[in-house]
Amino acid sequence: MPAISREQENTTDRINWFIRVNGVLTDAFLVEYRILDVTAGGGLPGTQIFPVAAGTYEDVTNAPGKFNAGSYYAYDNGNAEGWTPAVALPIGTYCIQWRWKISASAPLQLGNEEFEVLVQSAGSSAETYCSVDDIRDLGITVTMADDAKVLATIQLAQAFIERACRQWFIPKIIIVKFDGTDSDAIHMGVPIITIDYLKLNNGGELSPDLYRVYNSRTYPDDRRNPRIKLVGPNEFRDIFIAPVTWGIRLLFRKGRQNQEVKGTFGFVEEDGTTPALIHHATCKLTVQKLSEPLFVAPGTVPSVPAPPPILGPLIEEVTDDHKRKYGQPGGELKKSPAGLSGVTNDQEILDIIKLYKAPIGIATPANWTMRG
């Protein structure tokens, strides 16, 4: 569930809405939203808080409320900024109600999404995989840990998961420079959400018609193999619009950081949210760390497990020579995977990390040329 703090301006990667036609992001004829207060727990219809007039909607059909093809976010046209919860707004659950028309003659369609309004110090799900309220719901009370400590522990758990998985699970806008390999494709280490521009071979921005972005999050799922592939001139029937190339196709020419990409990257679901299993693992690891403090009060009797037997299980016996061989007490010792030892022994968390671990990327040149 998305979350936003009081007096925190909404951004394109926080409370947003995506419209697709046949799986493709598509601009709609009309897109509007309103925000309803459902903190009382009664659910919809709730009480409208934005726009102020009941029954009205805020129009975000065009920029800046529309920030990309088929992509919209909660923008306040009157204040010329992303919608911002007032400091006096009660914390709790709210609902943003979207409505849109694909064409002028199409019927209105509705979509609802709940989100949390938090106190200023509680953080946000746009930067963390779970919220402070998620941890409170799992039994961590304010007496056990205040909001600042909970948020710090969430960030610690998130840092571990990102390091173990070698990727992140929220949208991040970054600029990447990489070496050309004389290939017509470049593979990215983190799934691609959108590409703002591609600068090819130390040149200017390449027209989007000249490359394909593999960023599907449905079927086929490109998150395990995110890449950008250049389009060859053979795909253009009109010779006057075909790109000028060396040989028969465009290539990422061999060089040192001579290619540049700006875009939004992250392993997220189709709606831009953190995968449910990663959310669950972050919550579980956070609760573990908060429930098992590093230090205990003086005089507290520590709870320790019973020691293993001195002898392990009998694994070999030779009766005539009276020879017996015992296994390691407590079970066979195994080397812990690098980077995971001592952080958690929870098998569920470790298995989730295996599911979402990014493949190791190795750049291999293709189509070598004689040009240095």
- The predicted-structure confidence for 295-324, as pLDDT tens digits, reads as follows 656 666 655 555 555 556 777 777 776 777
Can you tell me the distance from the alpha carbon of 47 to that of 92, in angstroms, rounded to the nearest whole number? 13
Taking 70 as the pLDDT cut, the residues of the chain under it are: 1, 40-43, 119-126, 232-249, 293-312, 321, 328-342, 361-372
Give the pLDDT score at 172: 87
Give the pLDDT score at 232: 64
Beta-carbon contacts of 296 under 8 Å, excluding residues fewer than 6 positions away, are: 302
Give the pLDDT score at 68: 92
Q: What is the pLDDT of residues 175-232, one digit of tens each?
A: 889 888 888 888 888 999 888 899 988 888 888 888 899 988 888 899 989 999 988 6
Tell me the domains of the chain and their CATH numbers: 3-126 (2.60.40), 128-167+274-291+347-372 (no CATH), 172-265 (no CATH)
Q: Where are the alpha helices (DSSP H) in 257-358?
A: 276-291, 347-355
Give the pLDDT score at 321: 67
Q: Which residues does residue 264 pair with via DSSP β-bridges, in sequence order?
A: 173, 194
Give the pLDDT score at 238: 47
**φ/ψ (deg, to 5) at 280:** -65, -45
Give the pLDDT score at 104: 93
Question: Which of 97, 113, 95, 92 has the alpha carbon at shortest distance from 40?
Answer: 92
* Helix 276-291 with 147-165: angle, nearest 10 deg: 130
Between the two ends of the chain, the Cα-to-Cα distance in Å is 51
Can you tell me the distance from the alpha carbon of 243 to that of 253, in angstroms, rounded to the nearest whole number? 15
Instruction: Using CA atoms of 59, 64, 65, 66 in order, give the dihedral in degrees to the nearest 10.
Output: 110
CA 302 to chain centroid: 39
pTM over 0.85: no
18: left (phi over 0), alpha (psi -120 to 50) or beta: beta
Give the pLDDT score at 147: 86
Question: Which of 54, 28, 22, 49 has the alpha carbon at shortest distance from 38?
Answer: 49
CB-CB contact of 82 with 8 (8 Å) = no
Show the CA angle centred on residue 202, arms to residues 198 and 203, nearest 5°: 65
